[in-house]
Copies of this chain bind each other. A is one copy, B any other.
Amino acid sequence: MQTYILPQKNQWLKLCQRPIFETADLDLPVAKIMEDVRIRKDEALFNYSKKFDNCSLENLIVTTQEFTNAQKKISKELKEAIEIAAQNIKFFHKNYLEKTNRIQTMQGVECWRRNVAIEKVGLYIPGGSAPLFSTVLMLAIPAKIAQCPEVILCTPPSPTGEIHPAILYTAQLTGITKVYKVGGAQAIAAMTFGTESIPPVYKIFGPGNQFVTKAKEQAQQRGVAIDMPAGPSEVLVIADVTAEPSFVAADLLSQAEHGSDSQAILLCESKEFLQKVKKEIKKQLSSLPRRAIAEQALKNSRLIVLKNIDNCIELSNLYAPEHLIIATKNADKLADKITNAGSVFIGNYSCESIGDYASGTNHTLPTNGYARNYSGVSVESFIKKISFQKINANGLKSIGKAVEIMAAAEGLEAHKNAVTIRLQNLNNKTK
């Protein structure tokens, strides 16, 4: 852990730097996979499954039988937990759906917007060490609230050709029936171009390793939308002396265990407090199963003492953390000053992991500084807002002249003419 005591302001930008990962050398290998899947389709996917998942598949799609078997493998206790989370996520997300609100901007000129689901969306769920069924909740629930007609899910199989039962259970719970056994860049390629088994989609969601991230970038260049640019996960904790050092240490560690590239930052006002947190980190770290990963991540991590809490807020807004925990007196008031963050956790009992799983907010959030210019995933991520307008004869009469003048001033006579010809027609009628 790097420790900084009262760093000068001219150092702050440097303190906001993320670990840099050069991925330009993935451009070509990923482009090759994309092209191979585009041309050879399913055949290429079976091939990559052998190569990367060490698995010989006969079919890509998960069968009804496999869904049924998954149900049996999940404990009652886990099912209940997932259902509580699903309920909260559903309840929170459905509240943020814009109503269709017809607005008369002038007499006879009516304008509105309508939410329309993106017709085909694809969710990617990584495999590997942790079966991220929580991410299935976070992506599938808003997709279903948005009423996307087609929602598919790709996730890599185990060497025995299986998908983790918790992922299948959660997919089924959230109403996803099309789950495909394909991971990595090849999964993104399949959703971009479509194969015999897998339909192409208009937008791709979900986390992944650097190959997946690069493939999503390339998919975007080919016209498929993506949820947001990716980067390693991160947390920033602002704490004063009212915070509990053991809680803060636990929060920093829960970020650190995500991956060796994760970043955890503590901003506080007191050197003594910082030392207490450091001590707690060491203590808690020793018993973690993912200790090796967390230790690696802690090397990127920073414990920083600043002059006061205002400075902490200022540096946090500069850093633009994915997750921000405010464990201070008056945390509510401070939260109002936050201008750049993905998700903010207020007070000593609001730990990030509650939001990661079950409180209701989404955990697919902008990281790597993207909280400056992107929002997290929500129902809106799964819809387009189409604008509509209806202008009647009166409306045309009230607004027509302004349009004619502006179109002429922009040198667009045909634009003007589309109004003029209608106004003339109206005049002829009234004669």
State the A residues within 8 Å of B (CB). 77-78, 80-82, 84-85, 87-88, 91-92, 95-96, 98, 101, 103, 105-106, 109, 111, 113, 116, 118-119, 129-134, 166, 202-203, 217, 221, 223-225, 229, 244, 246-247, 250-251, 253-254, 256-258, 284, 288-290, 294, 331-332, 335, 338-362, 365-366, 368-376, 378, 380, 383-393, 395-396, 399-403, 405-407, 409-419, 421-422, 425
Complex interface: chain B residues within 8 A of A343 (CB)? 386-389
From B113, B130, B375, B389, A96 is in contact (CB under 8 Å) with B113
Complex interface: chain B residues within 8 A of A202 (CB)? 372-373
Q: Is the CB of A257 within 8 A of B103?
A: no
Q: Is the CB of A422 within 8 A of B247?
A: yes
Q: Is the CB of B422 within 8 A of A359?
A: no
Closest-by-CB residue of B relative to A203 is B373
Q: Is the CB of A251 within 8 A of B386?
A: no
Q: Is the CB of A111 within 8 A of B360?
A: yes
Q: How far is the CA of A406 from the CA of B358 in the complex (A)?
A: 9
Q: Is the CB of A421 within 8 A of B247?
A: yes
Q: How far is the CA of A376 from the CA of B166 in the complex (A)?
A: 38
From B290, B331, B392, B402, A81 is in contact (CB under 8 Å) with B402
Q: Is the CB of A111 within 8 A of B361?
A: yes
Q: How far is the CA of A385 from the CA of B81 in the complex (A)?
A: 27
A277: shortest Cβ distance to chain B, in Å?
13
Q: Is the CB of A132 within 8 A of B410?
A: yes
A351: shortest Cβ distance to chain B, in Å?
4
Q: Is the CB of A91 within 8 A of B78?
A: no
A134: shortest Cβ distance to chain B, in Å?
6
Complex interface: chain B residues within 8 A of A284 (CB)? 414, 417, 421
Q: How far is the CA of A223 from the CA of B421 in the complex (A)?
A: 46
Given contacts A339-B119, A370-B223, A401-B81, contact A421 B250 (CB under 8 A): yes
From B251, B369, B418, A351 is in contact (CB under 8 Å) with B418
Given contacts A203-B373, A290-B412, A406-B81, contact A105 B389 (CB under 8 A): no
A114: shortest Cβ distance to chain B, in Å?
8
Knowing that A87-B105, A351-B419 touch, tell me 5 more A-B residue pairs with CB under 8 angstroms: A81-B409, A290-B413, A335-B388, A345-B391, A353-B412
Q: Rank and list the top 5 A-B pairs by shortest CB-CB distance, nearest first.
A: A105-B360, A81-B402, A353-B415, A225-B373, A81-B405
Q: How far is the CA of A188 from the CA of B372 in the complex (A)?
A: 18
Complex interface: chain B residues within 8 A of A422 (CB)? 247, 250, 348-349, 351
A369: shortest Cβ distance to chain B, in Å?
7
Given contacts A224-B373, A402-B357, contact A410 B103 (CB under 8 A): no
Q: Is the CB of B403 within 8 A of A353?
A: yes
Q: Is the CB of B356 within 8 A of A415?
A: yes
Complex interface: chain B residues within 8 A of A250 (CB)? 414, 417-418, 421-422
Complex interface: chain B residues within 8 A of A105 (CB)? 87-88, 91-92, 359-360
